[in-house]
Amino acid sequence: MSIRIGIFGYGNLGRGVECAIKQNKDLELVGVFTRRDPATVKILTDGVGVYHVDEAKDMADKIDVMILCGGSATDLPVQTPELAKYFNVVDSFDTHAKIPEHFANVDVAAKASGKVGIISVGWDPGMFSLNRLYASAVLVDGESYTFWGKGVSQGHSDAIRRIDGVVDARQYTIPVDAALEAVRSGSNPALTTREKHTRECFVVAEDGADKARIENEIKTMPNYFADYNTTVHFISMEELKRDHSGIPHGGFVIRSGKTGANLENNHIIEYSLKLDSNPEFTASVIVAYARAAYRLSLEGASGCKTVFDISPSYLSHKSGDELRREML
Amino acid sequence: MSIRIGIFGYGNLGRGVECAIKQNKDLELVGVFTRRDPATVKILTDGVGVYHVDEAKDMADKIDVMILCGGSATDLPVQTPELAKYFNVVDSFDTHAKIPEHFANVDVAAKASGKVGIISVGWDPGMFSLNRLYASAVLVDGESYTFWGKGVSQGHSDAIRRIDGVVDARQYTIPVDAALEAVRSGSNPALTTREKHTRECFVVAEDGADKARIENEIKTMPNYFADYNTTVHFISMEELKRDHSGIPHGGFVIRSGKTGANLENNHIIEYSLKLDSNPEFTASVIVAYARAAYRLSLEGASGCKTVFDISPSYLSHKSGDELRREML
């Protein structure tokens, strides 16, 4: 019997989850929930209904795990605790500073309902977090470094779009090679924000806009760009669509640490991702944790969990025997 | 209160475990067990006793976790099930093909005694296995590749030493750059043994030995070298000691997989290790899992486990709250 999945929110991430479900034979999509008029939403899976979000709770007995695909700013803080009253839930809440609060809210709701909620699933938070934890537990005396990119930052692209005279924009975050090499050398460098990443911006300006002003506004924007070396390229809308329509991302988690009677030996643990599609990869991680949520729930678990609390074997459709034989 | 650890077997790995325990404030070494005359074994930790292996079971109430540091060929298949009758145990059993049998034996013993046994802990099996599992659970449609090196292979070095006229030898396993690049390109290449790794040998020959014969015997040795491109360098004992006394190792686990409605997007997950000391790194992993064994035991768990069965949070001395705040 398949694990019955609902998708709550149908943007890039929701579509990614839909595609990922197709790749996993033990998972079955049973419904997509949207705030839009369901009649206007066309999905990729034949024979699966699209429902208004208000209809979700009436389908509690038809869905084993609800996957929340909304945004971290305003959607998930409300939706995940609310839906945990009715469903096992998985979300990709990624506002790192607010994870403790979100965890507590989902935990209360999920414990009360006897459901499992897994929050902050994806690659950062998610697979990167796992690698930070494993590496620091193994190499106790050391330093961990996270680099992001090369990839599109949605938040930074949006910030550029809000500048007067900008029609559209795409911002890439790029790790600095020299910083990566310094970390890999085992020298445990102290790196400033500026030394770790550069930002490259592709901007479509309105006809006759003051490009020098736009470039200056970008480069001096506090929080977003002022602390970075930023490059700005003005291009046509045609070029933007042709060369920058993908949503690639990725990055590196590196830990460098020492062992030995006199800490004389150095070790480097490096984990990296190179992703053609950020939302589709995030969705693939989420779907594996949806399987885990279902299994944990079957075992009688309840409450909020993160990737730190889930045994790796729960992510795979293979049995313990198969995993030990094929992968250990 | 500290977690009280015993070390069973005191070679390179045992010494590595002893050093790793010093790096973890919540762990305390309470005894080293050896087959040699304990009076002849000098350890690095003041005030800790060295005992004969036969004395171990009398200390069952003084040790929370016994770490087994013997070899996989003949020691661990006997010792781990036997000691699991008295202790929570962790071993680094690394004969991949015999893991299912070893697991079953330890499971029977540990279930009968109500203890926890964690087997096959280290980096391969161990951290590499975890990465194979996580990556394949996330990227369902893809291929996984494991490369080893550059590093010293003890088994291959030993095989060379058994050749007539060889005084000493060191063998390095080296991944082929072109193969790594092909995998990273996302082309999912089918790679032969010869295409993945080369073998480089540093050999000290007896005075007057027939070097051409030795080189030929190495290069044509079945299983060990015949399927590889092998380079042989004859050096002096002085050079061997000066340049090849370390035990470095490492390697790569790479998975390349596709997502999307038409599997149009490719993703690369890469995990790599670059280790100055193979036994000390292995020991560092083992010690983190000793903490996990103790915690699982406190919760009432029993039986055999592997890295696949352990939630990552059990490896860290930090609380769930701290982990979510600092690493998620």
Predicted pLDDT at B1: 79
Is the CB of A133 less than 8 angstroms away from the CB of B20?
A: no
Is the CB of B184 less than 8 angstroms away from the CB of A313? no
The two tokens of residue B282 are: 């292995």
Q: Which long-range contacts (CB under 8 A, 24 or more apart) does B316-320 make?
A: B316/A133, B316/A136, B316/A137, B316/B288, B316/B291, B317/B24, B317/B25, B317/B26, B317/B291, B320/A308, B320/A309
Closest-CA distance of chain B to residue A87, Å? 23
Coil vs helix vs strand at A319: coil
Mean pLDDT of the region B41-68: 97
- Contact present, A129 and A308 (Cβ < 8 Å): yes
Contact yes or no for A140 and B284 at CB 8 A = yes
- Asked whether residue A1 carries a pLDDT value surpassing 90, the answer given is no
**Complex ipTM:** 0.96
Instruction: Verify whether the Cβ–Cβ distance A308 to B320 is below 8 Å.
Output: yes
Q: Is A17's pLDDT higher than 90?
A: yes
The whole-angstrom distance between B206's CA and the closest CA on chain A is 32
A274 in Cβ contact with B260 (< 8 Å): no
Which of A17, A304, A327 should one mutate to test binding to chain B, selecting the residue with the greatest count of B CBs within 10 A? A327
**What tens digit of pLDDT does each residue of A18-41 get?**
999 999 999 999 999 999 999 999
Q: Are A328 and B313 in contact (CB < 8 Å)?
A: no
The confidence score (pLDDT) of residue A210 equals 97
pLDDT band at residue B52 under the 50/70/90 scheme:
very high
> Which residue in chain B has the smallest CA separation from A317?
B137
**Exposed (0-12), middle (13-18) or buried (19+): which is B41, by Cβ within 10 Å?**
middle
- Token pair for B288: 């983190």
Residue A131's pLDDT is 98
Instruction: Determine whether the interchain pair A308/B288 forms a contact, defined as Cβ–Cβ distance below 8 Å.
Output: no
CB-closest option in A137, A277, A288 to B259: A277
Q: Which residues of B touch A306 (CB under 8 A)?
A: 324, 328
Give which of B308, B313, B322 to mutate to test A binding, by max A Cβ within 10 Å: B308
For residues A172 and A231, the answer to whether their CB atoms sit within 8 Å is no
Read off the tokens for A192.
């400033």
Taking 90 as the threshold, does the pLDDT of residue B195 lie above it? yes
Distance, CA of A142 to CA of A136 (rounded, Å) = 7
How far is it, in rounded angstroms, from Cα A201 to Cα A231? 6
A57-79 pLDDT, tens digit each: 999 999 999 999 999 999 999 99
Render pLDDT for B104-137 as a digit per residue (tens, 0 to 9).
999 999 999 999 999 999 999 999 999 999 999 9
The answer to whether residues B17 and B287 touch, using CB atoms and an 8 Å cutoff, is yes
Query: Which tens digits make up the pLDDT trace of B245-260?
Result: 999 999 999 999 999 9
pLDDT above 90 (res B233):
yes
Which stretch of DSSP H or E encloses residue A182?
A: helix A177-184
**Mean predicted confidence (pLDDT) in B178-194:** 96
Residue A116 distance to chain B (closest CA, Å): 16
Shortest Cα distance, chain A CAs vs residue B271, angstroms: 4
Give pLDDT tens digits for B131-172: 999 999 999 999 999 999 999 998 899 999 999 999 999 999
Contact across the interface for B23 and A141, Cβ inside 8 Å: yes
> In the predicted model, what is the mean pLDDT of chain A?
97
pTM, to two decimals:
0.96
Dihedral pair phi/psi, residue A42, rounded to 5°? -105, 125
In A, minimum Cα distance to B278 occurs at A267
* CA–CA gap between residue A272 and residue A174 (Å, rounded): 14
Over the stretch B10-19, which tens digit does the pLDDT of each residue have?
999 999 999 9
Phi, psi of B317 (to 5 degrees): -75, -10
The reply to whether residue B103 touches residue A324, judged by beta carbons under 8 angstroms, is yes
pLDDT tens readout for residues B301-320: 999 999 999 999 999 999 99
Residue with tokens 């003084």: B62
pLDDT digits (tens, 9 = 90+) for A265-290: 999 999 999 999 999 999 999 999 99
pLDDT for position A112: 98
Q: What percent of chain B has pLDDT over 70?
A: 100
3-state helix, strand, coil in chain B (%, to 5): 40, 30, 30
B283, A259: Cβ pair inside 8 Å?
Answer: yes
**Residues B64, B297: Cα–Cα separation, whole Å:** 9
Predicted pLDDT of residue A34:
98
Give how far B102 is from chain A: nearest CA, Å.
11
**Hey, which bits of chain B come out as E strands?**
3-8, 27-34, 49-52, 65-68, 88-90, 116-118, 141-148, 151-152, 166-175, 197-205, 229-234, 249-259, 265-275, 303-305
Nearest Cα residue to B139 out of A255, A16, A29: A16
3-state class (DSSP) for residue B243: helix
Which stretch of DSSP H or E encloses residue A193? helix A193-196
CB A76, CB A26: distance < 8 Å: no
Report how far apart the first and last C-alpha atoms of chain B are (Å, whole number): 27
The SS3 call for residue B231 is strand
**Inter-chain contact A283–B320, Cβ cutoff 8 Å?**
no
- Position B192 scores a pLDDT of 95
B27 DSSP β-pair partners: B3
Q: Does residue B84 contact residue B113 with C-beta atoms inside 8 Å?
A: yes
Q: Which residues of B touch A313 (CB under 8 A)?
A: 133, 308-309
